Amino acid sequence: MTGFNVILFNEFETLDVFGPVEIIGKLDEHFSIEYYSLEGGIVRSSQNVRIETKAVVDIAAGGILLIPGGFGTRKEVFNSEFIDVVKKLCQEARYVLTVCTGSALLAKTGLIKGLQATSNKMSFDWVCEQDMSVNWMKKARWTVDQKYYTSSGVSAGIDMTLGFVADTVSLKAAQTVANGIEYIWNQDKDNDPFCK
C-alpha cells in the first residue's frame, strides 16, 4: 500500500484535488489517501470546501505527493517556509503529481530545472516566471519527466492521474476506473485542446 499524500493550502482549487482523488480512491488496494497542510487543521478551498488535514511532518518518505493549484498558489510561491517543506517532500517522494498552477509551486523549489512541465494555460505565463529554466510545454494535457507528472488546468488532473495509474498500476486499471466513473479519458497527453 502506497501513501497518496495530498498537500493543501487555503484557496486550493477543489477539482484539482478531488478529480485525482476520485481516481486514486477507486484503487484502495494500491493506495491510501491522506490530506496534509503545513501545520495541520482545517484548510479551505476556493469553493469553500473544508478539509481536515494532518501536519506535513507526519508524511512518510517514499509515497506519492499531489500538489494542486488554485488562487492560493499566488500567495504560497512567496512563502519560503512552505516552499522549503514542499522541496523536501518532493525529494523524498517516489512520485510527484501537480495539477494546474501547482506546477508553479514545484518550479519554485528548483527541482525541475531543465525538465518538461506544463500548467493551466490561462496562468501559463505567470507559472513560467517562477522558473524560466524549466522546459515549459504549452501544448500538453500533461507531462511526465523522471518522477514528475504535471498537468494543465483543473480537469486535466483527472487525465494525468489516469495516465499515472496506467504507468504505475496498469492500463486496464486506468480504463476500468474511467469507465466506472463514466469519464471520457483523454489518453493522449499531447492532445491539449486548450493550448490556444
Confidence of residue 180 (pLDDT cuts 50, 70, 90): very high
Mean pLDDT, residues 11-27 taken together: 98
Q: How far is Cα of residue 134 from the mean position of the Cα atoms in its chain?
A: 17
140/36 Cα distance (integer angstroms) = 28
Backbone angles phi, psi at 25, to 5 degrees: -65, -20
Confidence of residue 132 (pLDDT cuts 50, 70, 90): very high
pTM: 0.97
- Report the chain's mean pLDDT, rounded to a whole number: 97
Environment class of 176 (CB within 10 Å of its CB; exposed 0-12, middle 13-18, buried 19+): middle
68/65 Cα distance (integer angstroms) = 10
Mean pLDDT, residues 123-134 taken together: 97
- CB hemisphere CA count around 129 (13 angstroms): 7
Q: Which domains does the chain have, with CATH numbers?
A: 2-180 (3.40.50.880)
Helix H or strand E segment including 149:
strand 148-151
Q: Which pLDDT does position 23 carry in this prediction?
A: 98
159/190 Cα distance (integer angstroms) = 11
pLDDT digits (tens, 9 = 90+) for 99-122: 999 999 999 999 999 999 999 999
157/167 Cα distance (integer angstroms) = 15
DSSP annotation of 64: E
Q: Which of 7, 112, 153, 138 is closest to 67 using CA atoms?
A: 7
DSSP annotation of 115: S
Residue with cell 495541520: 40
17/70 Cα distance (integer angstroms) = 10
180/96 Cα distance (integer angstroms) = 25
pLDDT digits (tens, 9 = 90+) for 35-89: 999 999 999 999 999 999 999 999 999 999 999 999 999 999 999 999 999 999 9
Confidence of residue 190 (pLDDT cuts 50, 70, 90): very high
DSSP annotation of 188: -
